[in-house]
A and B are shown apart, each in its own frame.
Chain A
Amino acid sequence: MSANAQAHPDAQAHPGARRATGGRRLILRCVALGYLALLLLLPVTMIFYRTFEHGLGAVWSAATAPNAVHAFWLSIELVAIAVPLNTIFGIGIALLLERGRFRGKALLGLLIDLPFAISPIVVGLALVLVYGRTGWFGDWLATHGIEVIFSVPGMVLATAFVSLPFVARETIPVLRELGTDAEQAAATLGANSWQTFRRITLPAIRWGVVYGVVLTTARALGEFGAVSVVSGRIEGKTLSLPLYVQDRFENFDTTGAYTAAVVLALLALATLLAMNLLTRRTRKAGAA
């Protein structure tokens, strides 16, 4: 993933590897490529192979089945809500943690990583406990006719929760590296906080943010566990693409399952590609 190395400051090549002698380098390469092939290439190829095994017609009808189309658009909807939300909050939290001075900063830093640490199933259950019929807000939500659990809002919440840390975690090191000099210079030149953020900070951290957005999107697209718990898995209503894949698989509709899986993989690939292109074009445009 070349985009990784470009956008991520931590992903520098290890200088130690360069020192290895010819033979050792070859072995290292084989091991790395073999690992990649076994874990990534082979399974993905198999999915593609099995999908198109019975011809394009079968794939087309599986892809255009109403429930499949619904699952596709539901996944897009989840991403379209969760990713912008987490981008804004992620940048905000990164700024707070790197630039702010307040009590409980260390605690906030820990909390941010919670979605990484907690199993998605637990997240789903926790959401049910809070927003479900018998949960804390259950009565209030029911009297106002708002459905959260077993409905799309709950799925959005679950998706947002599990993909929360990425933007913040990718942005924080870039902000730290950037330092505060340029922002202070902007302040002495008369810029207010918004102008400073918009014209100085954001352009400087944009690659960290973009990379965080890509990771957030990938995670939001692929999330299964938490979303599965809160969705109630109602066909044609609360099945996102990953849930639809499982649903088809359990119903012995392998073509349906593989086709949806391929669509999911293509969406993820498109995200990576979009970032790669975006990075390259802007790099060329600006000499900085």
Chain B
Amino acid sequence: MAIEAHDVTKRFGDFLALDDVCVRVGDGALTALLGPSGSGKSTLLRIIAGLETPDSGRVLIGEQDVTDTPARTRGVGFVFQHYAPFKHMTVYDNVAFGLTVRRRPKAEVRERVHELLSLVRLDGLAERYPAQLSGGQRQRMALARALAPRPEVLLLDEPFGALDAQVRGELREWLRRLHEEIHVTTIFVTHDQEEAMEVAEQIVVMNGGCIEQAGSPRELYESPRNEFVMSFVGPVNQLGDELLRPHDIQILPSEDAAPGTIEALVRRVVHLGFEVRVELTLPDGRDIWAQVTRERTQELELEEGQILTVRLPAPRTFAA
């Protein structure tokens, strides 16, 4: 089911959470709503789910206007940031909830719950209580619970926010594969650009209640529409009005000075595994940093206090 929001505006008191937002998510797509906190991404997600009512604007799910449809009949699966487990119920009862409230026959419920528990790899934990699960398991239980009634749309609010780095990485990978398997239109909210790039097919960048740009991860990275998008989807150096990507800065031995290159002093070399971060000071005193590979660092024998030559890429400027 495709999802559309038309001219959606939402205020909380004096705070303008969403300012005339229009967005379209294609049928079966895996989309990230990316933005800093307070950008309105969670509010937009909650409005699509029917958990908030927009002050104005319409929401469409699969061509059908659902603006006035209550959450419970929208056919939307929602995974909450802190999973909102039903603490007094077992994992089985949690997952079965969406089916038992619809009074499905017991045998059908049992079959569906076990199918989902194996899909989210929680077989054997059906009789546990949420308090007895790890963060990652709780998150997968919440996902199974949301998927049980076969929603047409799956919405996830900061799905990996509360997990530690390693579990996070595994779950991202897993969510992506799950989406390939079940192909339900999915939107997830994140403030982590790396997560959005890694998982989503399409990214919607939000800031200050507005949509800055929507497109594929590559599109956003290579042709950001404005300064905000450029600096939010990847690292940047700012030189006045100009923005440069650190990995576009070429570092050359000092004897390679040529037209279009400038001298720079190596202030600090930071080894981050495969990638090395070189902090430089330009002749006019401005500081930038460049991202180079480990091999390149060895070739150039980079060390602090060294003077070398850099070639800056064509910078990007955006009209204010």
A: residues with CB less than 8 A from B are 181-182, 184-192, 195, 199-200, 203-204, 286-288
Contact = CB atoms under 8 A, between A and B. Distances in A.
Q: Chain A binding site: helix, strand, loop or mixed by DSSP?
A: helix
B71 interface: yes
B131 A191 contact: no
A184 B80 contact: yes
A211 to B, nearest CB: 17
Residue with the highest number of chain A CB atoms closer than 10 Å, among B97, B102, B132, B148: B97
B145 A203 contact: no
Interface residues of B, number: 32
Interface of B: 49-51, 70-74, 76-78, 80, 82, 84-89, 97-98, 101-102, 129-132, 142, 145-146, 148-149
B98 A190 contact: yes
A181 B84 contact: yes
A288 B72 contact: no
Contacts of B131: 287-288
B101 A188 contact: no
Contacts of A204: 87-88
13 contacts: A181-B80, A185-B145, A186-B86, A186-B101, A188-B77, A189-B98, A189-B101, A189-B146, A189-B148, A286-B129, A287-B131, A288-B87, A288-B131
Given A184-B80, A185-B78, A188-B74, 7 more contacts: A187-B71, A188-B146, A189-B145, A191-B72, A191-B101, A192-B101, A287-B131
A128 B318 CA distance: 78
A204 B130 CA distance: 14
A187 B73 CA distance: 9
Nearest to A204: B88
B88 A188 contact: no
B85 A187 contact: no
A112 to B, nearest CB: 26
A279 to B, nearest CB: 14
Contacts of A203: 88
B298 to A, nearest CB: 51
A189 B144 CA distance: 11
A187 B82 contact: no
A282 to B, nearest CB: 10
Contacts of B80: 181, 184-185
Contact of B49 (A182, A188, A191, A287): A188
A253 to B, nearest CB: 51
